[in-house]
A and B are shown apart, each in its own frame.
Chain A
Amino acid sequence: MTRKAPLAIAAAALALGGAALAAGAPAATAVEVPTHAINVCQSATMYENYNFSIPGPVTYIRTLGYGDKIGHTPGKHPVYNGWASIQDFGPNDWGFIREECIGGYNSW
């Protein structure tokens, strides 16, 4: 074994350890990208969840402006009492906005 071999083995083991550590975080399950759309309201409030015990949206996230890029697949992503599950392609997170604020499908 050469002099550098122990270090090479250690580096490889560290890399494996890092991969295992990454696996300890919530797994990113491959999910189909929703249909591209935009917010067509002047402003649309985005909430994190829809609470069925109220019922209504809860946990304010942000306010979207007209033209903000979002994703929503009609017939696939749920709509509860007019509140639609959408992906905000700005920060790439998920939430609920009013269904009537979704438009411009496949416009971008």
Chain B
Amino acid sequence: MNRVLRTTAAAGALLVVGLTVNAAQAQAADGQVGVRETVCADDLQFRTSPGGARAGTLHRGETFLVEQISGDWAYGFAYGTINHRGWVQDGWFC
């Protein structure tokens, strides 16, 4: 009986974790060139080059006009409290 209960509890926990992961993944997506995307990360570092020096921080709800995609990085115009062109890691848009 205990064995059944423990296995059931573990399966239930797995289901909860799986749903949470899916929910997190569903909220973030890659950017599309020409689209003014909405940031879905709490803090998204704005950089001078792909993986380069930090030049600002974008927050959830702020927008970024994607002008170019290069690998895992998106180049474009950051609105909100930056209003300048630069790079952010791709994949964190709503």
- Residues of A participating in the B interface, judged by any CB pair closer than 8 Å: 3, 6-7, 10-11, 13-14, 17-18, 20-21, 24-27, 29-31, 48-53, 58-59, 73, 76-78, 85, 87, 94
Contacts and interface: CB of A to CB of B under 8 A. Distances in A.
Main secondary structure of the interface of A (DSSP, over half): mixed
Interface residues of B, number: 34
Interface of B, helix, strand, loop or mixed by DSSP:
mixed
Given A17-B14, A24-B28, A48-B81, A76 B53 contact: yes
Interface of B: 3, 6-7, 10-11, 13-14, 17-18, 20-21, 24-25, 28, 41-45, 48, 51-57, 81-84, 89, 91-92
Given A17-B14, A18-B17, A77 B53 contact: yes
A94 B81 CA distance: 15
A10 B14 contact: yes
A59 B21 CA distance: 32
Given A17-B17, A17-B21, A21-B21, A49 B54 contact: no
